[in-house]
Amino acid sequence: MRFLLTTALGATALALPILATLSRPSVAAGAAAAAAAVMPPAQGGGLAFPFPVKEKTLANGLRVYVVGYDSPGLVAYYSVVRTGSRNEVEPGKSGFAHFFEHMMFHGTEKYSLEAYNAAIKEMGADSNAFTSDDLTVYHILAGKAALPKIVEIESDRFQHLHYQEADFQKEARAVLGEYNKNASNPLEKMTEVLYDHAFSTHTYKHTTMGFLKDIENMPNEMAYSRQFFDRYYRPDNIVILVVGDADPDTVFKLVESNCGAWKAGDKHPAIPVEPPQKKEQRAELGWPGATLPMLVEGYHTPAFSTTNVDLPTLDVLAELLFAERAPLYKKLVITEQKVEALAGSNDAHVDPNLFTVLARIKKPADLAYVERAIHDEMAKVAKDGVDDKTLREVLSHVKYNFAGQLSTADKTAYTASSFLALTGDLGSINTYFALYDKVTSADVKRVAAAYFQPTNRTVVTLKAGK
C-alpha cells in the first residue's frame, strides 16, 4: 500500500513535538529524518551518527552510501530522489512530485505491476514510498539475501518506468481523491492556507499535494508528466542508501552493474527566491462541521545549514516555549485549561521555510487570549533570554531525544534520507549536531528577537461555522 507521509507543516519528517499534532502532506520527510535538534548522545567519539559509512559515486553522478548497522540478516534499501514539491516551478504544474510517488509502482516492460509485487512478496519484503517538500523516497526493508533482486527491480523502474494513458488517468484521479480525503481534516486546510499566505513567490507556497486547480487539471498533463520524470529521475539527482547487514563492495558492484549505463540529466530549473515578508499576514477560516477552534502560525526562518547557529537555537526555542515543561504550556494547558494541545517546531528545509506553532483551543471565545499569550511569551524570551542552567537542560533533552530514531536499520535509513535531501552528505548529521554545543543564552535571546517579529508572522485561525 503506497502512502503519502504527513508531517508537521511541511517538515522533512523531523521528529519534533508538533508532528504528532499538525500535519502537512510532505517527508519524512523524510525531510524524512529528525533534525540534529534531536540527535542521540555521543557514542565514544562524540558523534550523533556513529555508524561506519562507505560511499561511492558512479561516473554518472549516482551516489551510493552503505551504512553498517547491527541488524543481522536485514537491510533497508532507500532510493532518495532529491526532488519534492519545492521543484514544481512551472505555473499550473504543482503536485507532480507526489504524483510520481504513485506512478513509480505501475511497473516497467520487464517488471509489470503484478511482477513487481510478486517479487516483493517472494522476498518477504516491505516496499513503500513518501513525498515531502524537498524529497521523494522509495524504500524496501528485506533480508540481506534479497539485495541482488532489490537492486535489479529498483534500478529497472527508475530507468524504465512504463505507463500508458489509462494508467496515467487512473492515478491522476486517485491523487484528486487523496486530496479530497485530506481536505476533510481542518488542519490540512489550515496548513494549505498558512503556506499560501506566508509565501508569495517560492514554491513552498503550495503543499506537497499541490494546488487543487492543478490536481483537477492533472489528467490533461500526461506529456508534462513524462518531462517531469525525465528531468528529475536521473542518477545525478538520486542517492541510494543501504543500511544494515550489507557488504559495501558487494552493494557497489550490484549498483554499478545495474545503474552504470544510466545517463545523467540536464540542469534543473531555478527555484524562485522568496522576498522578505514586510507585514503580518492573517486568515480566518470557518469549518462547516464540528471542530475545536485552532490557531496556526508561521514565522519565516533560514534554510537548513550546518554552519548557522540560528538553526539549532530555533530548535532550542521550540522546546523552551512549547514543550510540556515550558511555562506557557503549563499556563495554557494545565493551569488555565484553555488549550487542549500546544506545539511548535522549526522544520529543516533546503530553502528558507517556517517555524510553526499550533494551538488547539477548547472554546472559541479564548482564541484571541491564547494568541496574545503565545506572542507575549515569545516577546518575553526575546527580552530576557534563558538562564544557563535551563539552557543546558534543554540542550541535553533535545540531543538525547533522538536515540529512538536510530533504534532499527529502517529508522536509521529514514533519518539519514532527510539529511541526504538537505545536503547530499551523510556527514552533515554530525556537523549539524556539533552546532548544539555552540548555542548560548545570548543566541536564544537574539534569535527570538530576530525571527518572532509581527511583520515576519502569518496567522491562521479556524472555528466551527461558515
Task: Indicate yes or no: pTM above 0.85.
Answer: yes
Q: Where are the beta strands (DSSP E) in 113-196?
A: 126-131, 136-143
Cα 83 versus chain centre, distance: 12
Q: pLDDT, tens digit, for every residue of 250-276?
A: 999 999 999 999 999 999 999 999 999
Cα(116)–Cα(156) distance, integer angstroms: 10
Beta bridge partners of 127: 140
Higher pLDDT, 9 or 253: 253
Find out whether 96 and 133 touch, Cβ atoms under 8 Å.
no
Q: How many residues does the chain have?
A: 466
The cell numbers describing 273, all together, are 527566491
Cα(305)–Cα(302) distance, integer angstroms: 8
CB neighbour burial string for 94-127, b if at least 16 within 10 angstroms, e if fewer: bbbbbbbbbbbbbbbeebeeeebeebbeebebeb
3-state secondary structure of 64: strand
**Could you write out the DSSP letters of every residue in 379-417?**
HHHHHH---HHHHHHHHHHHHHTTGGGGSSHHHHHHHHH
Burial bucket for residue 388 (CB in 10 Å: 0-12, 13-18, 19+): exposed
Residue 35 above 60 pLDDT?
A: no
Looking at residue 46, its pLDDT comes to: 61
Residue 185 above 90 pLDDT?
A: yes
Q: pLDDT, tens digit, for every residue of 346-404?
A: 989 999 999 999 999 999 999 999 999 999 999 999 999 999 999 999 998 888 776 66
Higher pLDDT, 439 or 32: 439
Identify the band that residue 42 occupies on the pLDDT scale cut at 50, 70 and 90. Answer: very low
Amino acid found at 275: P
Cα(218)–Cα(256) distance, integer angstroms: 36
Identify the band that residue 25 occupies on the pLDDT scale cut at 50, 70 and 90. Answer: very low
Find out whether 34 and 405 touch, Cβ atoms under 8 Å.
yes
Find out whether 347 and 133 touch, Cβ atoms under 8 Å.
no
Find out whether 154 and 99 touch, Cβ atoms under 8 Å.
no
Residue 118 above 90 pLDDT?
A: yes
Strand 457-464, strand 281-287: pairing: parallel
Looking at residue 27, its pLDDT comes to: 28
Please give the domain boundaries of the chain with CATH numbers for all domains.
Answer: 6-259 (3.30.830.10), 281-464 (3.30.830.10)
Residue 197 above 90 pLDDT?
A: yes
Cα(29)–Cα(37) distance, integer angstroms: 15
The cell numbers describing 78, all together, are 532507500
Residue 339 above 50 pLDDT?
A: yes
Q: What value does the mean pLDDT take over residues 42-69? A: 85
Please give the backbone phi and psi of residue 465, each rounded to the nearest 5 degrees, phi first: 110, 145
pLDDT more than 70, % of the chain: 89
- Look over the chain and give the mean of its residue pLDDT values, rounded to a whole number: 89
Cα(147)–Cα(136) distance, integer angstroms: 21
The CA-atom distances, in angstroms, between 4 and each of 1, 30, 125, 179, 417 are 10, 11, 19, 11, 16
Strand 63-68, strand 238-244: pairing: parallel
Burial bucket for residue 19 (CB in 10 Å: 0-12, 13-18, 19+): buried
Which one, of 305, 259, 267, 350, lies nearest residue 57 by Cα?
259
Q: At what angle do helices 96-103 and 222-232 cross, to 10 degrees?
A: 90
